[in-house]
C-alpha cells in the first residue's frame, strides 16, 4: 500500500503543480485554452486525490485521517473542492493560483512524508464522531485557506481589482473583500461545528468536554481570532487591509494548530500531536 500511496501522491502532486502553472499563466496571458485547461487539470488532480483517499479508506477499512500524511491528502482535496466551488459561485479564477499552490504544497509535503503506512486506530478514534469531526474541520481549514489566499491577493492589490483579463475575474470587477468574507464566514462556521463536535466526542470518550490539551487550546485560539474578525468586521466596522491582515493572523493560528504542535514545550502533554 505504501508504494501505491507514493505513486498516487506523486500523480496528484504533478497534476496540482500543472494546474498551478496554468493558473499562474492566466495572470500573464489571455487564452481560452488556459481558461478551460486550468480548472480541468485541477479537477483531474482532485479526482486522483479523491481516488487515493477513498481507495485507502476501502482497503484499510477505516477512515484515513490518522497520520499527518493522510490528513495532508485530505486537506489537499478539501482545498481543491472549496476552491472549485468558489470558482463556480464567484465565476472568478483569481484565487486559482494560490489554491492550486496550496494543494500542491500539501501534496508535496505528503509525498515527502515517511508515514504512508496505514496505521491502526486507537480505541478512542473508533467512534462515529471521528469522521464528522475531522471532515468538518478540514473543510473549515480549506475555506480559511481560500480566505487567506484572498487576503494575500487583496494585500498585494489593495484597491478593488479591475483587471483586463476577464479570465481571472470573470467580469469587470471583483469584490475581493466579499470573497474573503464569504470564505472566512464559511470556515468559521465549520470551525465552530468541528469544535463543538470535538467537545461532545471528548465527553463520550473520556468524560471531559475540555481538558486544555495544547491542540484543543490552539483550536480555541484560532476560533477566538475569527470570532474577533466577525465582531470587528460587522460591529467594529473594520474593513480593507487590516481586516485582511487579521485573516492572515487567524490562518496563521489555524496553520499552527494543524502543524505546529510539536514546537510547543507542552506538546508531550497532548493526545492530538502527529508523530
| Nearest distance, CB of residue 53 and other proteins, angstroms | 19
Closer to other proteins by CB, 114 or 156: give it.
114
Residue ranges in contact with other proteins by CB under 8 A: 2, 114-124, 126-127, 129, 159-160, 177, 185-186, 188-189, 192-193, 196, 199-200, 203-207, 209-210, 212, 214, 217-218, 220-221, 224-225, 227-228, 230-232, 234-243, 264-266, 269, 275
Residue 194: which H helix or E strand, with range?
A: helix 176-206
Closer to other proteins by CB, 2 or 30: give it.
2
The distance in angstroms from the start CA to the end CA of the chain is 20
| Nearest distance, CB of residue 91 and other proteins, angstroms | 17
Closer to other proteins by CB, 77 or 243: give it.
243
Burial code (b: 16+ CB inside 10 Å, e: under 16) for 104-138 equals bbbbbbbbebeebebeeeeeebeeebbeebbbbbb
Contact 49, 12 (CB under 8 A): yes
| Nearest distance, CB of residue 98 and other proteins, angstroms | 21
The CB-side HSE value for 8 (13 A sphere, CA atoms) comes to: 21
Closer to other proteins by CB, 171 or 207: give it.
207
Contact 73, 110 (CB under 8 A): yes
| Nearest distance, CB of residue 39 and other proteins, angstroms | 25
Q: What is the spatial distance between Cα 192 and Cα 222, in angstroms, rounded to a whole number?
A: 10
Q: What is the spatial distance between Cα 232 and Cα 114, in angstroms, rounded to a whole number?
A: 42
| Nearest distance, CB of residue 72 and other proteins, angstroms | 16
Closer to other proteins by CB, 31 or 192: give it.
192
Burial class of residue 29, CB neighbours in 10 A (0-12, 13-18, 19+): exposed
Closer to other proteins by CB, 28 or 207: give it.
207
The CB-side HSE value for 144 (13 A sphere, CA atoms) comes to: 30
| Nearest distance, CB of residue 20 and other proteins, angstroms | 28
SS3 content of the chain, % helix, strand, coil (to 5): 75, 0, 25
Closer to other proteins by CB, 85 or 221: give it.
221
| Nearest distance, CB of residue 236 and other proteins, angstroms | 4
Amino acid at each position: 500500500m505504501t508504494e501505491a500511496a507514493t505513486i498516487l501522491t506523486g500523480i496528484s502532486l504533478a497534476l496540482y503543480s500543472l494546474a498551478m502553472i496554468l493558473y499562474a499563466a492566466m495572470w500573464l496571458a489571455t487564452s481560452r485554452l488556459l481558461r478551460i485547461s486550468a480548472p480541468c487539470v485541477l479537477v483531474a488532480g482532485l479526482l486522483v486525490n479523491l481516488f487515493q483517499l477513498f481507495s485507502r479508506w476501502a482497503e484499510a477499512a477505516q477512515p484515513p485521517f490518522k497520520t499527518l500524511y493522510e490528513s495532508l491528502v485530505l486537506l489537499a482535496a478539501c482545498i481543491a473542492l472549496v476552491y472549485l466551488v468558489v470558482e463556480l459561485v464567484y465565476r472568478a479564477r483569481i484565487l486559482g493560483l494560490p489554491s492550486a499552490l496550496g494543494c500542491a504544497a500539501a501534496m508535496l509535503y505528503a509525498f515527502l512524508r515517511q508515514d504512508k503506512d496505514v496505521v491502526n486506530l486507537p480505541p478512542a478514534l473508533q467512534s462515529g464522531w471521528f469522521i464528522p469531526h475531522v471532515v468538518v474541520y478540514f473543510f473549515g481549514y480549506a475555506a480559511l485557506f481560500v480566505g487567506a489566499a484572498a487576503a494575500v491577493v487583496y494585500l498585494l492589490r489593495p484597491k478593488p481589482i479591475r483587471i483586463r483579463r476577464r479570465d481571472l475575474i470573470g467580469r469587470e470587477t471583483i469584490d475581493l473583500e466579499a470573497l474573503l468574507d464569504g470564505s472566512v464566514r464559511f470556515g468559521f462556521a465549520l470551525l465552530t461545528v468541528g469544535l463543538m463536535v470535538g467537545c461532545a466526542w471528548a465527553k463520550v470518550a473520556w468524560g471531559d468536554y475540555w481538558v486544555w490539551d495544547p491542540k484543543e487550546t490552539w483550536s480555541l485560539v484560532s476560533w477566538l481570532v475569527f470570532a474577533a474578525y466577525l465582531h470587528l468586521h460587522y460591529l467594529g466596522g473594520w474593513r480593507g487591509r487590516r481586516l485582511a491582515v487579521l485573516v492572515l493572523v487567524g490562518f496563521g493560528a489555524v496553520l499552527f494548530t494543524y502543524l505546529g504542535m510539536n514546537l510547543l514545550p507542552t506538546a508531550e502533554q497532548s493526545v492530538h500531536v502527529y508523530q
